[in-house]
């Protein structure tokens, strides 16, 4: 059974940093691209970042480019999102999502999410 478990969320002041983690199980982690998708309270979904199975290719939404860094440790089946220079508008539930076998443009498994609140 595929499982994705996010952690690392919390309350942080504007300009601060957080590092999110997503621990995966139930599939061959290194074979799949992985992504972060966020959902602000009461709002829709926003893709944030993705990276290839090897970690060699990374992609970012314009809204986080230059501030967030996605990475993975395939030896520990773990995905990360380093978030710097956080803004109030980054407040959201952050989901870890697994890319499809056929492409990384659809996400077939999602974690429960970890809440990030940016507020002074």
Partner 1 sequence: QSALTQPPSASGSPGQSVTISCTGTSSDVGGYNYVSWYQQHPGKVPKLMIYEVTKRPSGVPDRFSGSKSGNTASLTVSGLQAEDEADYYCSSYAGINNFVFFGGGTKLTVL
3-state secondary structure of 14: coil
Residues 6+ apart with CB under 8 A from 48: 35, 36, 37, 38, 60, 61, 63, 64, 68, 81, 94
DSSP string, 80-107: EEEE-S--GGG-EEEEEEEEPSS-SSSE
Contact region for partner 1 (CB under 8 A) — 14-22, 24-32, 45-53, 72-80?
A: 45-53
Q: Among residues 16 and 61, whose Cβ is nearest to partner 1?
A: 61
Contact region for partner 1 (CB under 8 A) — 9-17, 19-27, 76-84, 101-109?
A: 101-109
Q: Among residues 43 and 76, whose Cβ is nearest to partner 1?
A: 43
Question: Looking at 59, 67, 71, 82, which residue binds partner 1 (CB under 8 A)?
Answer: 59
Report the interface residues with partner 1, using CB under 8 A: 35, 37, 44-47, 50, 59-63, 95, 100, 102-103, 105-108, 110-113
């Amino acid at each position: 059974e595929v499982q994705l478990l996010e952690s690392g969320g919390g309350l942080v002041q504007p300009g601060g940093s957080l590092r999110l983690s997503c621990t995966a199980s139930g599939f061959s982690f290194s074979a799949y691209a992985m992504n972060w998708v966020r959902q602000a309270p009461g709002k829709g979904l926003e893709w944030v970042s993705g990276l290839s199975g090897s970690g060699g290719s990374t992609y970012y939404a314009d809204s986080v480019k230059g501030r967030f860094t996605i990475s993975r440790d395939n030896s520990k089946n773990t995905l990360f999102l380093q978030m710097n220079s956080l803004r109030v508008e980054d407040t959201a539930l952050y989901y870890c999502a697994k890319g499809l076998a056929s492409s990384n443009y659809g996400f077939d498994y999602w974690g429960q999410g970890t809440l990030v609140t940016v507020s002074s």
